[in-house]
A = this chain, B = another copy of it.
Amino acid sequence: MRRTSFAEMQCPVARTLEHAGEWWSLLILRDAFHGLRRFDEFERSLGISPNSLTRRLAALVDAGLLRRSSYQDGPARFEYVLTDSGRDFLPVLLTLRNWGMAHDRPERPNFAVVDARTGEPVDAVLVDRGTGRELTSEDVAFVPTQDLSRTGDARI
């Protein structure tokens, strides 16, 4: 059952969800960040049927988040590699992870997030680039852009 398309909405959140396709696709991206590349690696990690996985990988390739790369000829074999826009999903995965660690922490979290250079644990926090202040729901307001334009405010 195909859900309604979010693509025509004027909301960048909805449009992003359209690209990511569905929950399983986010877990495929997560696995790609964990270093998985090959079909059977994703299959083993996710425990989904080959048909489902084929369809989801194809959708992520279509959306430009993964690219297919040949690693063997005769028979041809492909691996799936994050594109730049796929790699830009990292903050989404890290904020989902933070929520889970705060509100439904697994007994044995399967992966730790560390600094790639030092190996030190990373504590990802969302801040405002300008002020450096942490962004919580108290600090942020969503303003309809039509209200901004009505007052001649050009900020978007």
Contacts and interface: CB of A to CB of B under 8 A. Distances in A.
B26 A17 contact: yes
Interface residues of A, number: 87
Nearest to A19: B104
A145 B108 contact: yes
Nearest to A101: B12
A12 B115 contact: no
27 contacts: A10-B108, A10-B110, A13-B93, A14-B100, A15-B100, A16-B97, A16-B100, A33-B142, A85-B102, A88-B137, A89-B99, A90-B135, A90-B136, A90-B140, A91-B98, A91-B135, A92-B92, A95-B126, A110-B144, A110-B145, A113-B143, A120-B130, A122-B128, A122-B135, A124-B126, A124-B127, A126-B127
Interface of A: 1, 3-4, 6, 9-17, 19, 22-24, 26-27, 30, 33-35, 47-48, 64, 82, 85, 87-117, 119-132, 135-145, 148, 155-156
